[in-house]
């Protein structure tokens, strides 16, 4: 085929192609356009007015406005056509217009939309997967509670998020140090970049350097073709969270210190320095300064890491938050345990059961609370967790708070009353989906009294 001579045959392969002159008369039309109107071929309708031949066609508007038209819809012989139209300009003047079909019928359009929906669903899935792998899962909103301790913690997180200084998060096991790290990242200017978590105790020492700094192709037997980025590079522009930093071996402590000083890395088997902009957040449940005194942790690295220090209090120091934390955990567990629907949903904790949670000393902190609630929910067949659901879990553990409660007198009773009422109000509001009138009726109090207690206890619905 001679493309320069057979342009008409080429253009005839474009669905619904029509070329108009300045007066909206057809200069060229493909055969399918002509056949839709009862003619044999495109030559049979050349010279006809598009407005007379196809009254529903709107391509002539391009000649009047000089503006392109996208996705114009019109009907022809029972078919719904979607077309694009463009003006033809020469020497600054409109001399005609060109139109072609985007979709020749609604069946094709629906198929296209189905494909878009499918691709959109896949894209959302993969975005979520990437977010789960490289993004921060939690934010400061996930830190539940109204106690002074929790308010101070949130203030510290907000302050730390303002700078790029290294942060050291200290606290007992299970207090939620990782949640604090996620929250700092989410509030910082690095929130749109990667959040990479490294468990310093979980990576074998012989693999730590290659995982941490990456390697070049052929640097060792079994090395991946093309090499591999390390966790530090993956966090470039974002945040690198070093959990259980106290478990890092002395040899790797030296390499981490060098990176913190130079802000660059060299992959295993490589010779080129790679600059990396990353913020370090470290966490430990051990006293690092004691480890420094014992020569188990480098003093120079300690000072590099401990620029901004955040102490996360154990749960026993802010028991007022237990109703809020417990309700949040229960809501999350309902979904993860598949307890959906009115007949299966657990709405909260009965007052007597909550009192047991408030008396317990929580050596395992929030992690232990979460574990006990999950175990209790697997024994719960009603809408509320009861004392019986906690038997064998909570009561099997050492409880020293009961004596403390009895010794502390009236103040502890007032606190217990506040916690019980808070939990009951939250549960009622949740059951009635925020309807205060029904919640008040369920609680046996007036709506005015309910509003007063919500304000008094600073309850967030």
What CATH number did the domain enclosing 268 receive?
3.40.50.300
Give a yes or no: residue 129 inside a domain: no
368 and 256 in one domain? no
- Percent of the chain at pLDDT above 70? 85
Query: Is the pLDDT reported for residue 106 higher than 80?
Result: no
Query: Is the pLDDT reported for residue 409 higher than 60?
Result: no
Mean per-residue pLDDT for 137-164? 92
- Domain CATH for 33: 3.30.450.20
Strand 93-103 relative to strand 79-90, pairing: antiparallel
Give a yes or no: residue 183 inside a domain: yes
Q: Which long-range contacts (CB under 8 A, 24 or more apart) does 132-135 make?
A: 134/194, 134/195, 134/196, 134/234, 134/238, 135/194, 135/195
Convert the pLDDT of each residue in 255-276 to its tens digit: 999 999 999 988 888 888 899 9
326 and 283 in one domain? no
Give a yes or no: residue 130 inside a domain: no
* Domain limit, last residue, from 52, 83, 103: 103
Give a yes or no: residue 354 inside a domain: yes
Convert the pLDDT of each residue in 48-62 to its tens digit: 988 888 888 888 888
239 and 268 in one domain? yes
Name the band, by pLDDT with cuts 50, 70 and 90, for residue 226: confident
Does pTM top 0.85 for this prediction? no
Q: Give the model's pLDDT for residue 408.
A: 43
Q: Give the model's pLDDT for residue 164.
A: 92
305 and 325 in one domain? no
How far is 62 from 98, CA to CA, in rounded Å? 9
301 and 171 in one domain? yes
* Domain limit, last residue, from 42, 75, 103: 103
230 and 92 in one domain? no
How far is 318 from 4, CA to CA, in rounded Å? 83
How far is 315 from 283, CA to CA, in rounded Å? 17
Tally of domains in the chain: 3
100-114, 235-249, 330-344, range with greatest mean pLDDT: 235-249
Q: Which of 105-109, 189-193, 448-452 has the lowest mean pLDDT?
A: 105-109
How far is 316 from 174, CA to CA, in rounded Å? 12
Query: Is the pLDDT reported for residue 370 higher than 90?
Result: yes
Give a yes or no: residue 135 inside a domain: no
Residue 436 is part of which domain span?
Answer: 319-456
* Domain limit, last residue, from 261, 294, 313: 313
The tokens describing 324, both together, are 């809020």
Query: Is the pLDDT reported for residue 415 higher than 80?
Result: no
How far is 18 from 54, CA to CA, in rounded Å? 12
258 and 169 in one domain? yes
Give a yes or no: residue 124 inside a domain: no
298 and 329 in one domain? no
H or E segment and range at residue 413: helix 410-431
309 and 185 in one domain? yes
CA distances from 194 to 201, 209, 241, 263 (A): 21, 20, 11, 17
């Amino acid at each position: 085929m001679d493309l320069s001579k057979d342009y008409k045959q080429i253009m005839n392969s474009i669905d619904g192609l029509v070329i108009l002159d300045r007066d909206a008369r057809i200069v060229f039309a493909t055969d399918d356009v002509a056949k839709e109107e009862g003619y044999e071929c495109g030559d049979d309708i050349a010279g006809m007015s598009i407005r007379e031949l196809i009254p529903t066609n709107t391509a002539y508007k391009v000649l009047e406005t000089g503006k392109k038209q996208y996705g114009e819809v019109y009907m022809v012989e029972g078919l719904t056509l979607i077309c694009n139209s463009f003006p033809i300009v020469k020497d600054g003047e409109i001399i005609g217009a060109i139109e072609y079909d985007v979709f020749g019928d609604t069946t094709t359009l629906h198929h296209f939309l189905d494909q878009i929906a499918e691709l959109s669903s896949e894209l959302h899935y993969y975005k979520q997967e990437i977010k789960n792998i490289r993004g921060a899962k939690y934010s400061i909103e996930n830190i539940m509670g109204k106690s002074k301790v929790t308010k101070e913690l949130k203030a510290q997180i907000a302050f730390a998020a303002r700078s790029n200084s290294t942060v050291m998060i200290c606290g007992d096991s299970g207090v939620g140090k990782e949640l604090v790290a996620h929250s700092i990242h989410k509030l910082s200017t690095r929130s749109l970049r990667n959040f990479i978590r490294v468990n310093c105790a979980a990576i074998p020492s012989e693999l730590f350097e290659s995982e941490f700094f990456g390697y070049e192709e052929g640097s060792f037997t079994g090395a991946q073709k093309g090499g591999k980025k390390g966790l530090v590079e993956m966090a470039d522009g974002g945040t690198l969270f070093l959990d259980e930093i106290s478990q890092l071996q002395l040899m790797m402590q030296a390499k981490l210190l060098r990176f913190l000083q130079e802000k660059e890395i060299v992959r295993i088997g490589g010779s080129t320095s790679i600059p990396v902009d990353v913020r370090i957040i470290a966490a430990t449940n051990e006293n690092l300064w004691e480890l420094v005194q014992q020569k188990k942790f480098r003093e120079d690295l300690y000072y590099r890491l401990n620029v901004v220090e955040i102490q996360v209090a154990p749960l026993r120091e802010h028991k007022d938050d237990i109703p809020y934390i417990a309700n949040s955990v229960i809501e999350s567990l309902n979904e993860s345990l598949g307890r959906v629907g009115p007949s299966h949903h657990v709405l909260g904790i009965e007052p007597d059961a909550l009192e047991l949670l408030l008396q317990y000393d929580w050596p395992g902190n929030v992690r232990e609370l979460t574990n006990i609630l999950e175990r209790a929910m697997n024994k719960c067949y009603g809408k509320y967790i009861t004392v019986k659901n906690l038997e064998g879990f909570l009561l099997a553990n050492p409880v020293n708070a009961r004596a403390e409660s009895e010794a502390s007198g009236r103040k502890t009773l007032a606190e217990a009353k506040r916690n019980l009422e808070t939990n009951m109000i939250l549960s009622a509001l949740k059951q009635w989906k925020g309807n205060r009138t029904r919640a008040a009726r369920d609680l046996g109090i007036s709506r005015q009294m309910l509003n007063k207690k919500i304000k008094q206890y600073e309850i967030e619905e």
